[in-house]
């Protein structure tokens, strides 16, 4: 009798233990192929764990992964996998602890990939920069898309901002993964139904702007080791050196680069002299390192996929280097010592240093990648990037390789593209968080990619409001142009210039391509604006630049309330030509100002360019602080939009009008400025 009671107590205790063991952090599926998958799950005590899968929700005929042990030294994380799955098949899965199904009512599923090479139409999503404590509502919207997979490109959780240096502490490293796989953040709704692929960026690797130097080496090694055990990834060529990897989905290959483990420190690209900085990276300055670059180039050359996506934690667009060069040029100008941004005040040098963290700070790797693509005729390469806390899309004109940047996944928007455009650098030509967006759209966003078999790919930056901020379509057969140029800034405003005096500015001509850029003529349309270069043809080699000074001298007294302008045309060997640089100055005589040097008249200027498409700049001046209203009317006098309705300070102001924001079609419109008793109306024309 006592023996029977003892056995009963033992069985009841065993049942209690089994019931007590629960899922502590939701499982995540990754490393998915057409026939296999891997899982990571964390439970709350030591136990034997496996994942059961079934094609039916009823779970009548499950199959199982290998069984693994949850142990305290791994913080009860379990990594397990399965092979022999069927392609393009939806599998429901559940966690089994000590052979008993975990007490968890959450429905979880994923769909295996098509067989390699199969042409298919599908969509996937990507993004970076997800900070704990943010609302996370965007993940429900992504989950509603039912993407085939999700690329998490780093800055997942920002553990370096809460526990620094977290990467040197094993417990904090594990905590960083617990925070990612969490029931408390809405991202688990995406995790439960979508395969993930993930590589670190800086804030989840070791710290801000992490590189491969000895400073970060120990922390990086701990992170790489943890990643190998705590995330379900694809095969890694060399886990000791980085987490670069690739996978295939039908006729698509995705190459996930590691932009941190092997990179040279960003600031090595700068030299100093006479209290100034100069951007002068040497021939070895690399973002990927030689081994990873060789891997990437070899895989691209040997790829049989119709579409090759390079997933990068940092932005690629080599045209962004123009901002670095402009920052160097303007570093001692008092106007640029405190630049307001959505993230607070920045010094112009800070902007140069921050941009050097992107691929634009590593021109050697830009050139090497582009040269290999063109020499080997590797078609249909597309860049997907993040890190910048904002979004941008370019069709390849400026980025060389079509690129979509989706960096504000769940974090305060930095307005990075908008900031570049304030400097007159327009290198994301297909939308995103551009300067003409309404303020309400400067929130979170993600990247949506739709593959239409072998025909084309649609890239869309989608806001948390569900609006498409930018998009471009890449047609089959795309190759980067071999000769290109970045011209920046595209608008030069010299502001006020006293008659009889001079003022100068400059623009940068940058060659981001793989062949020589040949300039045959740089010409001003107005003799008051002089282009100060030697006459005749000159050549800019790949990766090099030329600074073009512009001098303005106005010797004739202007009419009150007018301005002087011109465009600088640039003839070159670039297919399709280069857009002109627009220059503007407001000459004045002493009697047009009062004794305090304040503008003494109101004026509304003609928009430029006009006619226009897709955007134009409207400028005005105010003699005193006043309430300003700027509105658009159609040809019948119907009000179309209010552009400005606010108090403004005396001085010069402008507004960039984009037709996309107000759904304006071809035709004639009028814009009207009201400020106190001042009312003036001018005509603008849209041509598509």
Please name every residue paired with 90 in a beta bridge, in sequence order, or none if there are none.
111
- Closest by CA to 558, choosing from 623, 500, 476, is 500
The answer on 525 and 423 residing in a single domain is no
Taking the CA atoms of 375, 376, 379 and 384 in sequence, report the sign of the dihedral they define. negative
Asked whether residue 89 falls in the same domain as residue 163, the answer is: no
Domain-located, residue 210: yes
Which whole-number Å values give the CA distances from 607 to 203, 358, 568, 610, 664, in the listed order? 43, 35, 17, 6, 16
Q: pLDDT for 128-164, tens place per residue?
A: 999 877 888 899 999 999 999 999 999 999 999 887 7
- Name the domain count of the chain: 4
Chain centroid to Cα 493, Å, comes to: 28
* Domain CATH code at residue 622: 2.60.40.1930
Q: Are residues 464 and 486 in the same domain?
A: no
- Nearest-angstrom CA–CA distance, 452 and 198: 24
Domain end (from 592, 615, 644): 592
Residue 500 belongs to a domain with what CATH number? 2.60.40.10
Question: Based on the domain organization, do 296 and 382 belong to the same domain?
Answer: yes
Does residue 116 fall inside a structural domain? Answer: no
pLDDT band at 614 (very low <50, low <70, confident <90, very high): confident
523 pairs with which residues across the strands? 569
What is the predicted pLDDT for the residue at 427?
95
Mean of pLDDT values over 1-28: 57
Do 449 and 580 belong to one domain?
Answer: no
CA 392: distance to chain centroid?
A: 6
Which residues neighbour 432 within 8 Å (Cβ) at sequence distance 6 or greater?
Answer: 390, 391, 392, 393, 405, 417, 445, 461, 469, 470
Give the separation between CA 193 and CA 105, rounded to whole angstroms: 14
* Percent of the chain residues topping a pLDDT of 70: 92
Q: Are residues 208 and 342 in the same domain?
A: yes
Q: What is the pLDDT of residue 12?
A: 40
pLDDT at 3: 46
Mean pLDDT of the region 379-403: 97
Q: How far apart are the first and last CA of the chain?
A: 94
Can you give the pLDDT at residue 556? 57
Kindly state whether residues 673 and 532 are assigned to the same domain.
no
In a domain, 21, yes or no: yes
Full residue range of the structural domain in which residue 527 is found: 482-592
Phi, psi of 433 (to 5 degrees): -85, 70
Over range 195-220, report the average pLDDT: 90
Q: Any residues with CB less than 8 A from the CB of 671 and at least 6 apart, and which? A: 604, 607, 618, 630, 631, 632, 633, 643, 657, 681, 682, 684
d(CA 375, CA 383): 19
Residue 687 forms part of a structural domain: yes
Tokens of 586: 């407001």
- pLDDT in the model for residue 17: 42
What is the pLDDT at residue 244?
98
Are 617 and 494 within one domain? no
Residue 23 has pLDDT above 80, yes or no: yes
Tokens of 659: 């037709």
Domain of residue 39, CATH code: 2.60.40.380
Give the C-alpha separation, 491 to 508, whole Å: 12
* pLDDT confidence of residue 513: 97
For residue 608, pLDDT over 80 is answered with no
């Amino acid at each position: 009798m006592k023996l029977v009671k003892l056995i009963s107590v033992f069985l009841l205790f065993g049942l209690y233990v089994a019931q007590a063991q629960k899922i502590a952090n939701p499982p995540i599926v990754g490393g998915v192929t057409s026939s296999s998958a891997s899982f990571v799950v964390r439970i709350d005590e030591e136990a034997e764990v496996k994942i059961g899968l079934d094609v039916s929700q009823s779970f009548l005929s499950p199959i199982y992964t290998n069984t693994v042990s949850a142990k305290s030294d791994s913080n009860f994380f379990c990594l397990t996998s399965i092979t022999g799955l069927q392609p393009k098949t939806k599998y429901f899965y559940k966690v089994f602890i000590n052979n008993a199904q975990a007490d968890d009512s959450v429905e979880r599923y994923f769909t295996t990939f098509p067989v390699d090479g199969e042409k298919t139409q599908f969509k996937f999503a990507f993004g970076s920069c997800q900070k704990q404590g943010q609302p996370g509502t965007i993940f429900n919207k992504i989950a509603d898309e039912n993407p085939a997979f999700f690329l998490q490109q780093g800055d997942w959780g920002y553990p370096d901002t809460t526990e620094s240096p977290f990467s040197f502490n094993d417990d904090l490293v594990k905590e960083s993964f617990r925070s990612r796989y969490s029931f408390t953040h809405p991202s688990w709704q995406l995790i439960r139904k979508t395969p993930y692929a993930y590589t670190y960026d800086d804030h989840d690797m070791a710290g801000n702007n992490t590189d491969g130097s000895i400073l970060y080496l120990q922390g990086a090694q701990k992170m790489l080791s943890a990643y190998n055990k705590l995330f379900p990834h694809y095969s890694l060529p060399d886990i000791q050196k980085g987490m670069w990897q690739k996978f295939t989905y039908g006729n698509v290959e995705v190459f996930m680069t590691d932009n941190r483990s092997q990179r040279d420190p960003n600031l090595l690209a700068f030299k100093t002299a006479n209290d100034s900085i100069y951007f002068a990276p040497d021939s070895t300055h690399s973002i990927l390192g030689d081994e990873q670059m060789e891997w990437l180039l070899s895989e691209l050359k040997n790829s049989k996929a119709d579409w090759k996506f390079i997933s990068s934690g940092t932005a690629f667009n080599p045209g962004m280097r123009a901002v670095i060069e402009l920052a160097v040029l303007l570093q001692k100008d008092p106007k640029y010592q405190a630049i307001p941004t959505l993230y607070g005040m920045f010094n112009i040098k800070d902007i140069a240093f921050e941009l050097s963290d992107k691929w634009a700070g590593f021109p050697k790797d830009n050139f090497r990648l582009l040269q290999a693509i063109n020499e080997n005729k590797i078609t249909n390469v597309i860049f997907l990037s993040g890190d910048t806390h904002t979004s941008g899309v370019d069709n390849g004109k400026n980025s060389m390789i079509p690129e979509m940047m989706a960096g504000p996944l769940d974090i305060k928007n930095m307005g990075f593209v908008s900031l570049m455009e304030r400097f007159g650098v327009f290198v994301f030509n297909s939308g995103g968080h551009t300067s003409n967006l309404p303020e309400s759209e400067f929130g979170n966003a993600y990247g949506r990619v739709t593959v239409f078999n072998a025909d084309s790919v649609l890239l869309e930056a989608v806001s948390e409001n569900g609006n498409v901020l930018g998009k471009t379509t890449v047609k089959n057969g795309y190759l980067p142009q071999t000769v290109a140029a970045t011209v920046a800034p595209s608008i030069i405003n010299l502001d006020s210039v006293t008659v009889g005096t001079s003022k100068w500015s400059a623009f940068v001509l940058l060659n981001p391509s793989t062949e020589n850029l040949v300039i045959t003529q740089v010409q001003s349309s107005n003799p008051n604006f002089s282009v100060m270069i030697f006459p005749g043809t000159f050549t800019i080699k790949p990766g090099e630049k030329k600074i073009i000074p512009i001098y303005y001298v106005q010797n004739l007294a202007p009419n009150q309330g007018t301005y002087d302008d011109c465009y600088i045309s640039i003839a070159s060997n670039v297919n399709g030509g280069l857009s002109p640089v627009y220059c503007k100055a407001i000459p004045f005589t002493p009697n047009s100002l009062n004794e305090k040097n304040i503008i003494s008249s109101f004026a509304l200027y003609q928009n430029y360019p006009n006619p226009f498409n897709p955007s134009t700049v409207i400028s005005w001046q105010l003699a005193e602080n006043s309430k300003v209203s700027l509105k658009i009317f159609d040809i019948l006098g119907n009000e179309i939009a209010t552009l400005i309705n606010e108090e403004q300070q005396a001085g010069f102001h402008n507004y960039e009008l984009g037709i996309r924001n107000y759904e304006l079609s071809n035709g004639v419109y009028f814009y009207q400025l009201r400020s106190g008793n001042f009312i003036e109306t001018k005509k603008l024309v849209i041509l598509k």
